[in-house]
Amino acid sequence: MKRVTGIGGVFFQSENPEHLYNWYEKHLGIKREPHGQCATFEWRELQSPDGSEPGAIGATAWTIFPRTTKYFGASKSSFMLNYRVDDLDGLLEELKKAGVEIDPHREDAEYGRFAWIMDPDGNRIELWEPPKES
């Protein structure tokens, strides 16, 4: 079965995103990227079980959306997790067979492919397949 390989992003809503971004920067040192839409935490995958050979650099996005955002769809929650996957189409096919609610909308970008599902509690989940390394 195709599975999640990591967390690609943490997204949540706020009545005042600018104020909240400033609070997180002041008190926790989380700084937004120069374009100002998110913070990014970089990390490195491990290539060997003992961790002696570093792998590709990965990133986890951390973003605050306005409470009025439509990006969370019909989610009942004020947060959304983005999960990294290695085979988006394969995972979606398995989820479809299992009866999971799948948003028909898809997005393809230079930084990967995206799809959305809902969990049984009504939380929207973003699935992200990063671009394959050349």
Residue 28 backbone class (left: φ over 0; alpha: ψ -120 to 50; beta: rest): alpha
| Domain total of the chain | 1
Is 36 inside any structural domain?
yes
Domain CATH for 51: 3.10.180.10
| pLDDT by residue, tens only, the chain of 134 residues | 568 888 999 999 999 999 999 999 999 999 999 887 899 999 887 776 676 777 778 889 999 999 999 999 999 899 999 999 999 999 999 999 999 999 999 999 999 999 999 999 999 999 999 998 74
Distance CA 39, CA 62 (A): 5
Residue ranges making up the domain that contains 93: 4-129
Residue 48 lies in a domain: yes
Residues 94-111 pLDDT 10s: 999 999 999 999 999 999
What phi, psi does 43 have (nearest 5°)? -150, 170
Q: Indicate whether 134 belongs to any domain.
A: no
| 56 in a structural domain | yes
